[in-house]
Chain A
Amino acid sequence: GAVVSQHPSWVICKSGTSVKIECRSLDFQATTMFWYRQFPKQSLMLMATSNEGSKATYEQGVEKDKFLINHASLTLSTLTVTSAHPEDSSFYICSAKLAGNSYNEQFFGPGTRLTVL
């Protein structure tokens, strides 16, 4: 149980285009999902917290107009990188928290490798 999927697993795009990444909880409901970014040989950095039916909460330094997050259902959150540039190339990982779980136990997706040319 507690499986999280991401789609696509990798994407290559041209500079200036937008890319959408999907995160799904497959066998549980997640009122809260999280988006992280990880650069090579570095740790995971939280970008934003996404709550179903409400606006995402962004971490300091993360541009909300550039990284659009939509959490339209209890099993799906999407991250859209708008007007992508080479410096946005990174490994994007989502996680989901079980609805009703009082502790912040998060289940992670497999990640999406974004390369912007």
Chain B
Amino acid sequence: GESVGLHLPTLSVQEGDNSIINCAYSNSASDYFIWYKQESGKGPQFIIDIRSNMDKRQGQRVTVLLNKTVKHLSLQIAATQPGDSAVYFCAENLAGFQKLVFGTGTRLLVSP
């Protein structure tokens, strides 16, 4: 189950599997959402974004799904590779405030 603070939720998968990372966001008025990947000791790296008027967006090997009814965002990674191992954060943009609020993060571990 999920927890906050010092205990990051962890998803462990085998190389080649598809991964799904979930995020519950807090503000129904948020208008823009971004998924970031963060490797140890580095800054967040943009993966994919989605605006609130969409429910799905696809990139290279990644898909983001947005369910505004239940305020849920997911990131799907196809054919997960060891290089995908990192912590993944969702972020929501608070409309009218122009600031990002980050989720607690999920650690993805990919074993060969």
Interface residues of A (CB under 8 A from B): 4, 6, 32, 34, 40-46, 49, 91, 93, 95, 97, 103-111, 113
Contact = CB atoms under 8 A, between A and B. Distances in A.
**A-side interface mostly:** strand
A43 B104 contact: yes
| Centre residue among B34, B42, B93, B103 by max chain A CB count within 10 A | B42
A42 B99 contact: no
B100 A104 contact: yes
A113 B41 contact: yes
Q: Which 3 A-B residue pairings sit nearest by Cβ, starting from the closest?
A: A108-B43, A104-B93, A43-B102
A42 B68 CA distance: 26
Given A103-B51, A105-B34, A41 B8 contact: yes
Given A108-B43, A108-B46, 12 more contacts: A6-B43, A34-B99, A34-B100, A43-B102, A43-B105, A44-B89, A49-B99, A91-B41, A93-B44, A97-B98, A104-B32, A111-B41
